[in-house]
Structures are given as C-alpha cells and as structure tokens.
Structure 1
C-alpha cells in the first residue's frame, strides 16, 4: 500500500490516465471486431441472396399462389450452408423452412419490417426456441411486380461469440499487463521525484535549525534542480548576511568605542582640573567633534531603520539642485581644502526637481563626502547637472582610487564596506539608494580601480500640476 503523499498522487494519476485510455481503446477495439464479424456474416448472406436471385430469374411462377413443389424448389435453390432458411409470406407467417421446427405464430422481428420496406433486413437477437444468439437476414421477393414472399436466413452466432469472448479475454490480459508495467513505471518515476524532494526537505529542516552549512547534494534536473540551487543559494546568502551582520556589529562597536573613549578621557582630564585654558579648549573641541560623530552614526542607523520599516517621512517641494549642491560644497570646502581637492560645479540654470530638500542634501552630501574621502590629493571632483529626456541627471565624478568590479556590484548593499578599516557603518550608500528611489529616481555607480568613480543620480522633472513651493 502506497502511503499518502506526492508519490501516491503521481502513481494514481498515471494509473487513472492510462487505465482510462486503455479502457477506451479496448472498448473501441472489441466493438470494431464484433462489428467486423457480424458485418462479414451479413455480407456473406446478402451476397448469396444476390447471386441466387440472378440465377433464379429463370424461375418465376406465373401465379401468385405458390404450390408446395414451388416452395420446395425455392428452398433448395436458396439454401446456404451453415444457415437455416425460411420462406415467409408478407404477413410474416412461415410457409416452409429447412428445420423441423415450424413456428405457430407470425414472425415480427425487425428484419421482416426492413425487408417489407425494400431493404435487406438484419436482426440480431435470441432465438425463441433454442435460446441461442442468432442473426436473421431477410429479403423480399416479388412475382409479377407484386410482393410475394420473404426469404429469411437464420445463422447461429454462438461460435462467433465464443471467438469474440476469447479475443476479449486476450485484450483484458494484455491491458492488465500494460497496467502492471505502467504501475511499475509510475512508481519509479514517482520515486525519482519524491527522493530528491525528501532530500531537499531534510536539508531544509537542518537549515531551519540554524545549520546553514548544510547543502542539497545531487545533480537534479529541471525544476528540482532549480529548487535545490535556490535553496543552496539562500543558505549562502544567509551565511553572508550573518557575516555582514557580525562585521557590522564589530565595526559599529569599534566606531562607537573610539569616540566614547576620547570623550571619556578628555572628560576625566578636564574634570580633574589643573590644566591651562588652552588645553581645556582643545579637549572641549575634541569632545564636541566626537559627539557629532556619534550623533552621525546613530542618525545613520535610525535612518536605515526607518527606511526598512517604511517610516521615513518625505516632505515634497520644489528644490533647486544647483543651489543645493553649492550649499553642500560650502559645507565640505574645508575638508576638501585640507587635501587640496578642488570641487567644481557645472550646472544648468535653476535645475528644479520635486523632492525633500533635506533628504536630497543627505544624498549628495554622502556622495561628495565619499568622493573626497577616496580621492587622491591635488585632484578635482566634478559635479555635473543637466537635463536629458525629461530627467534631471546629476553626476559626481572623481579620479580617486576607484572600486574593483567584484566590490562594485555589492557596494550599495547594507552593512557592506570595501575596506572596514576606513570606518563607518556601511549603511551610507544603502540609505542613499533608498532615498533616491523614494524620489522616483535611480542611482548608478560606475568605477574602475585606480581610475576613479562616477555616481549618476537621475530624478524626474516636475510636472505642471505639481504644487509650487519655496525654492531652497
């Protein structure tokens, strides 16, 4: 007994389909064989009637009343081996026949009515006296253009039916053998599907218990192969995500510890007293700087959390990108000046977009700050703004260290850092990407190692129906 499951479903479906098709084919085959044999008997008797009629044309009684001699002569002339011959009048009464049995009543079977209508009648049924299956074939004969008598042949179908029974038993045996083969084949097919599924299920159970090193082994094909590959890929991604998470926790712990150590150290130093005002001023500057750094880290984490939960609020308005970039350049001018990096802006007049000014400032501040961080000294960073195909395109181009192809495809992933030693949470570009998408735009990064990086931010132009607002 096959237990419930996919295996049973597959076996049952195959078995039912093949059984139905086989049953239909056997029924059609047996009906065709039966029809063939019955039609052959009917054709043989009908052909005999036609042949005898051609010969019998020489004998035509002048009178409508047939004598006993006439009937006997007709009986001997139309006789056919293996059949019983009867001559009936038009009322279906038997005038003479070859057997000793003489029916007392008129014959009313369908072959008689067919013969009276001018056709060669045929009837298959059970003989009243002998109770055997017979076929009766009747034909109306005329004398002087008048319906005179009916020639009726009766032949037993017992022999034919025995042969048909043997053929039926043979067909059933063949069908049973075919069904047995199909059952075996379907069970093999079901096993070939269920066995990999059981393996995949077992591996999935291990992964559910946290054993992400488990893998689906085996060269499976088609959908099963895709399922196994997807499951293995999922496990690899979970391991990678866990590693990224661990790296992030380690990195953020270091990032938080460093400024806290400085704040605590200078706080204890200042609290102890005995230092001159200049040293106290320097300590307070360091405490302020490190506090701002902590606030930036916390805000970055909070922003990412809001984006993940779709809770970040965007206040839309009309924003002049040129003025926004000029403001950012002023904010970062001191940092760029320390490394002798020139910030150059090439923009169309008043490039207007619809967006949140503060969030867009966060986007470009992060991009330009990264460009400064990874540019060589005595270099330049170009900020290019232009309109193209109904879009405002902003490019941040540097000639810095660049990013290799392996890291470029992952650089916008959350928590990912090309070089963890550079500090940060690895969330900056992930947040930037999501903010741009919230503005119905997109961000593309192009980079080559030691040749520089270009970040392209595309934002839609405002429509006429957009609500006007103050430019920043």
Structure 2
C-alpha cells in the first residue's frame, strides 16, 4: 500500500506538471500566431479564473503580463538562470513539499523582436489538498483491506486449527490407550495426509489391542484345556479302587496332554524368539530335489495311511539358499495341514518350478479349502478357521504364523490360494541360486 501510495502521488504530480506545460505550450501557440497587448491581456484573464497562474516575460526578464500579483515564491522561480529551453517546454520546479509553487516554462518567438517565456505556476497548497484527499482514500482502503484480512485470517486460522485440535485430541486419547478414535479427513493436502496417518495409526493400534486381547484369551484357552485334562485324570488315577488297565489308559491321556502342552510352549517360545530377533538361522545352498525327496519319503507313510496320494514334481538342477532344518519345519507344517484337511483318495502335490531366476515351491492339496473371508487372516497368530477349536483337528493356530515368519526370515515370501471343496495351494518363493553359487559357497 505504501508503494502504491507513493506511485499514485508521483504519477499525480507528473500529471499536474504535464498539464502546466501543456497550458504553457497552448499560450505559446496563441502568442506566436497573434502577438499583441490584447492577446497578452486575454491570456492573463483566462488564467485569472483558474487554479493556475501565468507570467509572460521577454528575453530580458521583464514581465509583460501576469494573471496574479507576482510574489516572492514566483520571483524566486523567475530569477532562476534558465538554460536553453526546448520548444516543448520544461519543468522548472517539481518539489511540491518544500516550495510554494510547482512551475514550468515554455519559450515563444513571434518575430525577431517579440521573444520571451511563458511561465506557468500552480500553488502547492492545491496539490497538498489533492494529496490529502488521496491520503484519505488510501487510509480508508487500507483500513478496509486490513479488516478483510483480519476476517480472512480469522476464518483461515479456524479452518486450519480445527483439524489440528481434532488431531491433538485424537493423539491425547491414543496416549491414554483409547484407540477407537476417528479423525475426519477434510482435505487432500498435508493436513489431510497427517489426519489420515493418525487415523491409520489409531486403526493399527486398535487392531493390535484387539489382537493382543484375543491372543491372551486364546493362550489361556489353549493352556487351560490340557491342564484341565491333566488335573482331572491325575485325580482319577489317585483312586485306590482303579484297576491297572484303566490307570494305564488315564496315564496315557495325561502323557498325551503333557506332550500337547509342551508343543504349545515350544511354539510360543519360538515365536517369542522370532519377535525379538534372537532366532538363529544357519543358511546354506542346498539342492532342492534331494531336499524335497527326503521330506517326501519321510511323510509318505502318513499320507498312505490316510489313502491320500502324495506326489513330488521337481527338477534336479534347482538350488536355493535356506536353513535346511528350519525350512523342513515349514514344509512339514504345510504338509501336515494338507493331511488334516484332505479326504481319502485325493492328491497332494509338492511342486517346485523356476521362472526368471525365482523358485516357487507349492504345496497343493484337494482338501476342503478355506472360506474366502478367512484367507486374509490365515497367517495371523492363533487364528483358526474352526472357531470352535475342535481338538480332533489339532493345532493351536500358531503353525502358519510361524511358517510365515520362518519363510520371511530366510528371505522368501509365502502366499495362499484356496477354493472351498476344491483345495488349497500354499506357494513359497525364493531367489534361485545357481550351481556356481553352490560351488563357491
């Protein structure tokens, strides 16, 4: 506004000076056409009724005509040493702040003897009045602009601080353990991204909280069941009237439940070690065919006993970098699932293929399949498709979670595809190792 104010005033003063010079040029033209005393008086009379004054002098400085009484301010300008003045005229005094007049001069030549200058004067008090009026307009415009700016800033600050306050309240709730918060996303800028990030964090923490509670409840259930069996049958075996065969049968049940409890604790211990990165992996490059063939021979009797055909499809020139004992645990776990959930006279296949430097190992069964709503959660801890947790299917819902962690620790990925009553396919993918790699290793 200050810059604009200065530019407007400067422009207005220049306009006044150009106007004075134009009036002086107009009087010059009249004098050059018809120079006479009546013409001089006519020019003086014209300027007498305007807010400007004219003084016409000859080349010696004698005043020929004046529209007003020549005062000290005018004499100061008339006494200036004038250099050669261009025909279009020139500005003699432009400082309106320090002088009483602004002035211009224009030369005229009617004939050789009738020469002189036309001086035009404008009182700076008139200019100051004009500037004061401009100042009032600018002050009003500035006040109006500031008012609109304050109103705009108020609403903008409200618009900016409202989501920030909402996010602050949400983070306060999160810090107190309340993860069921909703942060509205009202924009797609940085604030919107921040709100979305906080909402994602809240959703993830809420999910982890629910998962932890479900985990603790599931562990309590899994521990309570074998302990209940052990305690119940231990109480029965203490009876003195129990015959030897019944006592032996009950002791077998106690032993089986103890083994079951021991397996659960082992799986929990392994999972805890993987979570804190203390699970040791000893990788080496192995020939995949011989590795899978050994597993195939190991589990073939169990599949044959259930009248399930077990096939192996693998070329003998595939090598992968794995921990053999840990990876055997992965394959055995997947095969155990295929055995549990497949019917008689179906086929389970261990299939290894290579494509673009990647090796895929698939366990394909023709079992009951997994419902579509359960597939995304199949690798979650303690998640079981059978919500009743029937004991005849075995397992604790930890096997596939451990399988996924074991595969990822060794640098691989695992995925699952399944259709109800058609079967399930677990696929593990690793980067292929060449025969040269195995030799150098």
TM-score, length of structure 2 as denominator length: 0.79
In structure 2, the residue matched to 1:163 is: 130
* 1:442 to 2:413 alignment: yes
Q: Which runs of 5+ in 1 are unaligned?
A: 1-22, 61-69
In structure 1, the residue matched to 2:25 is: 50
Q: CA deviation at 1:49?
A: 3.4
- Structure 1 pair 104/353, CA: closer, same or farther in 2 (3 Å)? closer
Deviations 1:373-415 (A, max 9, x none): 2222332211111111111111111121211222111212233
Give runs of aligned pairs for residues 69-468 of structure 1, distance below 5 A: 76=41, 79=44, 81=47, 82=50, 83-86=52-55, 94-96=61-63, 98=66, 99-101=69-71, 103=75, 107-108=79-80, 112=82, 116=85, 120-122=89-91, 123-126=93-96, 131-132=99-100, 134-141=101-108, 149-213=116-180, 215-216=181-182, 220-222=186-188, 234-260=201-227, 265=233, 269=237, 289-420=256-387, 421-422=389-390, 423-462=394-433, 466=437, 468=439
Deviations 1:55-89 (A, max 9, x none): 433579xxxxxxxxx9x789657646143334568
**Residues 245 and 415, structure 1, Cα contact 8 Å, conserved in 2:** no
Q: CA deviation at 1:293?
A: 3.5
- Structure 1 pair 426/176, CA: closer, same or farther in 2 (3 Å)? farther
SS at 2:433 equivalent: coil
SS at 2:156 equivalent: helix
In structure 2, the residue matched to 1:4 is: none
Q: Which runs of 5+ in 2 are unaligned?
A: none
In structure 1, the residue matched to 2:12 is: 37
SS at 1:327 equivalent: helix
Q: CA deviation at 1:446?
A: 0.8
**Residues 179 and 202, structure 2, Cα contact 8 Å, conserved in 1:** yes
In structure 2, the residue matched to 1:15 is: none
SS at 1:461 equivalent: strand
SS at 2:106 equivalent: strand
Q: CA deviation at 1:37?
A: 3.5
SS at 1:125 equivalent: coil
TM-score, length of structure 1 as denominator length: 0.74
SS at 2:368 equivalent: coil
- Structure 1 pair 430/94, CA: closer, same or farther in 2 (3 Å)? farther
- Structure 1 pair 288/326, CA: closer, same or farther in 2 (3 Å)? farther
**Residues 215 and 381, structure 2, Cα contact 8 Å, conserved in 1:** no
* Alpha-carbon distance between aligned partners in 1 of 2:303 and 2:57, rounded to the nearest angstrom: 126
Equivalent pairs counted in the alignment come to 425
* Alpha-carbon distance between aligned partners in 1 of 2:237 and 2:97, rounded to the nearest angstrom: 128
Deviations 1:414-457 (A, max 9, x none): 33222240454433222222332233322111112222211111
Q: Which moved more, 1:442-451 or 1:296-305?
A: 296-305
* Alpha-carbon distance between aligned partners in 2 of 1:460 and 1:267, rounded to the nearest angstrom: 55
**Residues 237 and 251, structure 2, Cα contact 8 Å, conserved in 1:** no
- Structure 1 pair 335/432, CA: closer, same or farther in 2 (3 Å)? same
* Alpha-carbon distance between aligned partners in 2 of 1:106 and 1:45, rounded to the nearest angstrom: 16
Q: CA deviation at 1:335?
A: 3.6
- Structure 1 pair 350/189, CA: closer, same or farther in 2 (3 Å)? same
* Alpha-carbon distance between aligned partners in 2 of 1:135 and 1:157, rounded to the nearest angstrom: 6
